[in-house]
Amino acid sequence: MKNMIFLALLCPFILNAQRNFLDEGNNLLSQNRTKEAEEVFREGLKSDEKNLIYQTQIGLCLLNQGKYEEAQQQLDKVIVQDSNNVAALWYYGVNSFQNTKNFRKAVEYFEKAYPLILKTSPQFFAVNFYIGKSYRNILVTEGITYEETDRMLETSKEYVRLQPNASDVNKFMEFIKYVEEKRPQSNVKIWMLTNEKNAEETLTKQLKKNKQ
């Protein structure tokens, strides 16, 4: 009887040890069952409080639910413990890009992740896309420096090179051409295309004119 009670008490721990929280949570994420995935990762964290992978994936779950402030706080905890955690840096960049359109913060974290991403990884073309697109958004909201314009062009060109068949590649190429023709000289501290709406109208008109 005592042995049976002892075995019964051990069963939950045995089952818990055999449970693969990472695979289970990621599988739920792949099905867009984000809230359930978050619950699984939090359950895993109870058994391994220092597991940075679970902590990072919780940040992703919060991001996918649009809980941007909570996601930022969660990812901050991971980055404090591991400043080169590429997944946390990446999610932080995406979170900033999607949140209140904090594009400078997005650039900051994508740039931190940049040297840590393998050039053979599909994520490498994406990080170039995000940096180029973030700078483009900053260009029409607050303006960018000559050096930032260089970086915007560099990452935009790299995205085009890596994704020649992407649906948006022609727009990227047109934008690159426009910037190279119209950018001010290096003595201009900040280059800004008025506001976003007018900038898009200006770009559209100019690009059409260039085709004529």
The pTM is what?
0.82
**What is the distance between the alpha carbons of residues 150 and 161, in angstroms, rounded to a whole number?**
16
The domains located in the chain, with CATH, are 1-102 (1.25.40.10), 117-212 (no CATH)
- Say how far residue 126 (Cα) sits from the centre of its chain: 9
Nearest-angstrom CA–CA distance, 113 and 98: 17
Percentage with pLDDT > 70 across the chain: 82
Which pLDDT score is estimated for 18? 61
pLDDT tier at 101, thresholds 50, 70, 90: confident
The string of DSSP letters for 69-128 reads HHHHHHHHHHHHH-TT-HHHHHHHHHHHHHSS--HHHHHHHHHHHGGGS-TTSHHHHHHH
- What confidence score (pLDDT) does residue 149 get? 97
Q: What is the pLDDT of residues 172-204, one digit of tens each?
A: 999 999 999 999 999 999 999 875 555 566 555
